[in-house]
Amino acid sequence: MLLSGRIPAHVAIIMDGNGRWAEMRGLPRIEGHKRGAERTREVITAATEVGVNTLTLYAFSLENWKRPDEEVSMLMKLLEFYLKKEFSELIKRGIVFRTIGEIWRLPENIQALLKDAEEKSLRNKGMNLVLALSYGGRNEIIRAVKKAMNLGVKPGDVTEAYFDSLLDTSGLSAPDLIIRTSGEKRISNFLLWQAAYAELHFTDTLWPDFTREEFFLALHDYQMRERRFGTVNARAER
């Protein structure tokens, strides 16, 4: 598919439907997560190819900690596997890696791998790859409020730009396009503040079936949108 025209600077994805993909095939849910991880790799590559500046992937929500212990621990193992297997290659390709969310809740070995990847990619100049892990939008906002209070910030100094700088996503632009797979049409506590003017793309495709072509379809859908930002007839170029 020809992808001329504006490419969203920041694409964020709620990668949903792994469990149902597996259940439909009579497989354990973890098989869906494994297949989903392959699509994640494919979409990261596709995003770098078309010049997306920032790709944020919702990989594990704060609420996901409430899943059965067995599923949580298998998800952590899968994450560990991919961090070890894939990340040095991504870093070599120039990706700047960071995380958002309550990382301190993750197993220590995973925290160490994440920190290592962030540090090694610090001087890179390529696409920002942001993993939302142990992430909740409300929680992020509350933590930002606490930071401001601890800093003794005066009410008059709390501007939107300042508040932005206290969030985990500090320094990143707001998402232009949020994609959710699996047919659910909700935001599930993802980037609540940042999503204010994001375009939303919902698809019934389950994440393990979300190929690069599907990703390009979502970008194409975005390219058809007119973003008005509350004004009249503003043909915003981004």
Our finding on whether 61 is near ligand IPE (CB under 6 A) is yes
Choose the contact partner of 60 out of Mg ion, ligand IPE, none; CB within 5 to 8 A by kind.
ligand IPE
Our finding on whether 77 is near ligand IPE (CB under 6 A) is no
Looking at the Cβ atoms of 90 and 131, the one nearer to ligand IPE is 131
Q: Which of 53, 64, 124, 221 is catalytic?
A: 64
Choose the contact partner of 59 out of Mg ion, ligand IPE, none; CB within 5 to 8 A by kind.
ligand IPE
Looking at the Cβ atoms of 132 and 166, the one nearer to Mg ion is 132
CB 167 within 8 A of CB 140: yes
| Residues 3-32 within binding reach of Mg ion (CB under 5 A) | 16
CA distances from 154 to 78, 159, 163, 168 (A): 44, 11, 12, 21
Our finding on whether 106 is near ligand IPE (CB under 6 A) is no
Our finding on whether 18 is near ligand IPE (CB under 6 A) is yes
Looking at the Cβ atoms of 58 and 215, the one nearer to Mg ion is 58
Instruction: Kindly give the residue spans of alpha helices, DSSP state H, lying in 94-236.
Output: 108-121, 137-150, 160-166, 212-223
Task: Quote the CA–CA distance of 99 and 133 in Å, as a whole number.
Answer: 7
Q: Which of 16, 18, 139, 189 is catalytic?
A: 16
Out of 7, 12, 15, 62, name the contact with ligand IPE by CB under 6 A: 15
Task: Quote the CA–CA distance of 209 and 39 in Å, as a whole number.
Answer: 7
For the question of residue 150 being annotated catalytic, the response is no
Total length of the chain: 238
Our finding on whether 59 is near ligand IPE (CB under 6 A) is yes
Write the CB contacts of 58 (distance below 8 Å, at least 6 apart in sequence): 12, 13, 14, 15, 132, 135, 188, 190
Would you tell me which residues interact with Mg ion (CB under 5 A)?
Answer: 16
